[in-house]
Structure 1
Amino acid sequence: MNTQNIRQTVVELCVELSHRGHFSGTGGNIALRIDAAHIAVTPSATDYLTMTATDVCVLRLADLQQVEGERTPSVESGLHARVLRARPDVQASIHTHQPVASACALLGQALTVPAGPMQRSLGRRIPVVGYAPSGSGWLSSRLARALRPDTNAYLMLNHGVLCCAATTWAALQAVEDLEALSKTLLLHAISARAEREPLAQPALQRIVDALAA
C-alpha cells in the first residue's frame, strides 16, 4: 500500500486551510480516504504549518487501528470514520473551527442554502448536530445520525463544523462556501436585530463592520 501521495495531500490541504483562516495552530483536522479499508488522518496537537507527510497517520477504517505514522492520530478520527463509512462517495472529511460558521454553530439553528452553486456544494439544508464533548463517541454517534447522502456540511453545536465531499478540493470548496453563506446569514440576522433594537445599533454595527472587512 503506497500512502505517500495521500499523506502529502493531507499536508498540503492543511497548509491551504491555515492560509485561508479556517485552521489555526493545531485546531481542526482532516481525514482522506486511501482505499476501501484505510484512511489518512491528521496527527493530534501538531502545528499544521510544520507538519510533514510522515507525521500523517494511516488508520484502518473499520477499527481505527493505526498502521502508519509517527504521531498519535487526531482525537476526532472517529468522527471522520463515521462519515467515510456511511458515505462511500466521500473522499475527504474536514473538521474546522472556522470563525463565522462556528459562530453560527453556537446559535444552534439549521441553515437554509439558496439554490445554485452553494446548494450543489453543501446541500439544501445544513443541520445542527447536538452538542457532545470533542473526540467522544457520543459526538461521532450524533453526527452519524445526522448524516445524509445529499448533505455535505454540518454545524456541531458549541463546537465547529464538518464538511465532506467526493474530492479533496470539493471538500475545501464546501468549507469556503459554508463560511461565505454563514457570513451572509449572520449579517442579515444582525441587521434585522439592529432595526428592532435601536439602542443596540452601535454595538451591532461594529460586528457588521468586522464581518464585512
Structure 2
Amino acid sequence: MALCCRQLAARGLIAGRDGNLSVRLGPERALVTPSGVLKSLVDPADMVEVDFSGKVRRRGSRKPTSELELHLRILRHRPDVQAVVHAHPPAATGFAVAGQTIPGNLLPELIFVVGPVALVPFGMSGTRELGDQVVPYLDGHDALLLANHGAVTMGRSLDEAWIRMESLEHSARIILAARQVGQPQPLSAEAVRALVQQREKDA
C-alpha cells in the first residue's frame, strides 16, 4: 500500500495529503491509509487496521483516512472488491468538475481495463453523504468519478485497482487531446460489444 501511495504521488495522481487506499483483510476488517500523512512519504507502519464499523483495531495506530466511510461502504456493498483507490487524477477529475463522465466507446483499453465509468453526484468529502451518493453506482462499475472531487477505482487486488486508476487518467488525457485536434471517433458498436464480452469473460 505504501508503494502504491508513493507511485500515485510520483505520477501526479494525488498531491500532498490527498488520496486514500483500502485493502480488505477479511470479512469485517480492512487496512486503510492514515489521515494527514504525505502520501509520497508514507510508510507501511503508518497503515491503520479497522473493522467495518470504523473502529481502529490496533493500538498506537494513526488516525484512519477521513474518507473511511467511503471505503467501508464500497467494501460492504461489493464483497468481490478487495481493494479501493481514491485519488484526484487531474484529467479525470477535470471531467468530474465539468459534470461529465468519460466516454466509454473511444478507447479499447478503457473498455477492457476500466469498464464503464459512472459520474456520482457531489457529496461532501469525509461524510456519510458521500457514501450514500456512491452506493447506487457500485453495481456494474469498477470506476467512479466523484463530481467536483476526484475518482475511485476498485479491484480484485490492489494492483488491479491501481492499474484501473492509472488507465482511467491516461484515457482521460488521450480523450482531451483528441478533442483538441478534432472530433473523437467512436469505436463501432460491434467492437465495443466484443471488448465488453472479453472483459466479462476475464472477470
TM bracket (short chain): 0.7 to 0.9
The answer to whether the 8 Å contact 1:131/1:156 transfers is: yes
Tell me which amino acid in the other structure corresponds to 2:144: Y
- Structure 2: gaps spanning 5 or more residues: 184-203
SS for the counterpart of 1:111 is coil
Tell me which amino acid in the other structure corresponds to 2:108: G
Q: Tell me, yes or no, if structure 1 residue 67 matches structure 2 residue 57.
A: yes
Offset at 1:145? 1.3
Tell me which amino acid in the other structure corresponds to 2:19: G
Q: Tell me, yes or no, if structure 1 residue 184 matches structure 2 residue 177.
A: no
SS for the counterpart of 2:26 is coil
The answer to whether the 8 Å contact 2:109/2:167 transfers is: no
Equivalent position of 2:158 in the other structure = 168
Tell me which amino acid in the other structure corresponds to 2:156: A
The answer to whether the 8 Å contact 1:121/1:152 transfers is: no
Q: Identity over the aligned pairs, expressed in percent?
A: 28
Which of the pair has the greater relative contact order for Cα pairs under 8 Å at 6+ separation?
A: 2
Equivalent position of 1:30 in the other structure = 21
Q: Tell me, yes or no, if structure 1 residue 121 matches structure 2 residue 121.
A: no
Q: 2:11 aligns with which of 10, 17, 20?
A: 20
Tell me which amino acid in the other structure corresponds to 2:163: Q
User: How far apart are the structure 2 equivalents of 1:86 and 1:112?
Assistant: 25
RMSD: 1.7
Deviations 1:119-143 (A, max 9, x none): 23211x2111001111111111101
Greater C-alpha Rg: 1
Tell me which amino acid in the other structure corresponds to 2:173: K
User: How far apart are the structure 1 equivalents of 2:57 and 2:17?
Assistant: 22
Deviations 1:68-121 (A, max 9, x none): 252111110110111111111111101101111111111111222236343232
User: How far apart are the structure 1 equivalents of 2:113 and 2:54?
Assistant: 28
User: How far apart are the structure 2 equivalents of 1:141 and 1:190?
Assistant: 36
Corresponding pairs, count? 181
Q: Tell me, yes or no, if structure 1 residue 51 matches structure 2 residue 42.
A: yes
The answer to whether the 8 Å contact 2:17/2:39 transfers is: yes
- Structure 1: gaps spanning 5 or more residues: 1-9, 194-213
Equivalent position of 1:158 in the other structure = 148
What are the equivalent positions in structure 2 for 1:201-212 lying under 5 Å apart? none
Equivalent position of 1:112 in the other structure = 103
SS for the counterpart of 2:57 is strand
What are the equivalent positions in structure 2 for 1:113-152 lying under 5 Å apart? 113-114=104-105, 116-123=108-115, 125-148=116-139, 150-152=140-142
User: How far apart are the structure 2 equivalents of 1:129 and 1:173?
Assistant: 21
Equivalent position of 2:198 in the other structure = none
Tell me which amino acid in the other structure corresponds to 2:63: T
Offset at 1:40? 0.6
Equivalent position of 1:7 in the other structure = none
Offset at 1:38? 0.5
Q: Tell me, yes or no, if structure 1 residue 41 matches structure 2 residue 32.
A: yes
Give the TM-score of the pair, scaled to structure 1: 0.79
The answer to whether the 8 Å contact 2:143/2:154 transfers is: yes
